[in-house]
């Protein structure tokens, strides 16, 4: 089974996420253009509570979690409508993997509903047999990787991600990690790496996947 991280691995949603959050922030606080895509990029891979603590630390705990919740709910609807930017070669490569009989899933530390918004907005439902997210289970990424594997009867998997937390989670779950170098961060101990998404099939073969 090939399990993918989402942000920084399959697509770049930093601009629509920043745009959607700014609309909510302006409505709730009167402040406009508070967040930039770069701000959002720096938060990718964290849970929503961690993001709220970082971005809205000037508010009380109750206030910042309430604001973050409003942002994430609106964000899901915004993403469904507007979508985001897939990285080059994603659809074409997923098509090849699907045709080759690969079972694929998505595991992300995002809020509940975000992966579904990605799948719907980009018409990706045929590619993925399952997905899991922190907002739905409250579990760590490692536990969600294991959960998806168990749910699909898989003993072996490989995780594709772009930041060190992805590799740490994959290794904690007992699976190798492929570093998507075109993404948002650095990984020091990945088992393999890809400079472009379309390199994934050949790299999987090189590391002896299946």
Q: 42 vs 91, which has greater pLDDT?
A: 91
- Are 120 and 30 contained in the same domain? no
Helix (H) or strand (E) holding 96: helix 90-99
- The owner of tokens 């690969």 is 102
For the residues 71-91, what does the mean pLDDT come to?
95
- Are 137 and 196 contained in the same domain? yes
Total domains present in the chain: 2
- Both structure tokens of 177: 């990690």
User: Which range marks the domain in which residue 105 is found?
Assistant: 2-11+86-206
pLDDT tens, position by position, 138-182: 999 999 999 999 999 999 999 999 999 999 999 999 999 999 999
φ/ψ of residue 106, rounded to 5: -125, 135
- Are 176 and 117 contained in the same domain? yes
pLDDT tens, position by position, 13-68: 999 999 999 999 888 887 766 889 999 888 887 888 888 898 888 888 998 899 98
d(CA 44, CA 22): 17
Structure confidence at residue 210 (pLDDT): 63
- Are 99 and 179 contained in the same domain? yes
pLDDT tens, position by position, 105-151: 999 999 899 999 999 999 999 999 999 999 999 999 999 999 999 99
- Both structure tokens of 13: 């949603």
Structure confidence at residue 32 (pLDDT): 66
CA-closest candidate to residue 6, choices 99, 168, 140, 117:
117
- Are 20 and 65 contained in the same domain? yes
Which of 67, 82, 97 corresponds to the end of one domain? 82
Structure confidence at residue 206 (pLDDT): 87
Structure confidence at residue 207 (pLDDT): 84
Which residues are within 8 A (CB) of 30 and not within 5 positions of it... i.e. 6 or more apart?
none
Judging by DSSP bridges, how do beta strands 85-86 and 104-108 pair with one another?
Answer: unpaired
- Are 142 and 199 contained in the same domain? yes
- Are 109 and 177 contained in the same domain? yes
Report the share of the chain in percent with pLDDT over 70: 99
- Are 69 and 91 contained in the same domain? no
């Amino acid at each position: 089974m090939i399990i993918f991280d989402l942000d920084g691995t399959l697509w770049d949603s930093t601009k629509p996420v920043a745009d959607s959050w700014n609309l909510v922030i302006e409505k709730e606080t009167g402040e406009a253009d508070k967040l930039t895509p770069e701000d959002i990029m720096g938060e990718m891979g964290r849970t929503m509570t961690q993001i709220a603590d970082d971005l809205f630390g000037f508010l009380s705990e109750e206030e910042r979690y309430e604001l973050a919740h409003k942002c994430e709910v609106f964000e899901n609807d915004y993403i469904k409508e507007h979508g985001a930017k897939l990285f080059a070669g994603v659809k074409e490569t997923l098509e090849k993997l699907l045709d080759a009989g690969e079972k694929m899933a998505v595991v992300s530390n995002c809020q509940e509903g975000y992966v579904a918004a990605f799948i719907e907005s980009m018409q990706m439902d045929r590619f993925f047999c399952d997905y899991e997210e922190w907002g739905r289970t409250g579990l760590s990424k490692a536990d969600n990787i294991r959960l998806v594997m168990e749910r699909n009867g898989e003993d072996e998997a490989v995780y594709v991600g772009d930041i060190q937390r992805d590799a740490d989670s994959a290794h904690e779950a007992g699976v190798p990690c492929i570093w998507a170098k075109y993404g948002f961060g650095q990984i020091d101990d990945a088992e393999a790496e890809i400079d472009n998404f379309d390199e994934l099939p050949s790299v999987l073969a090189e590391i002896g996947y299946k």
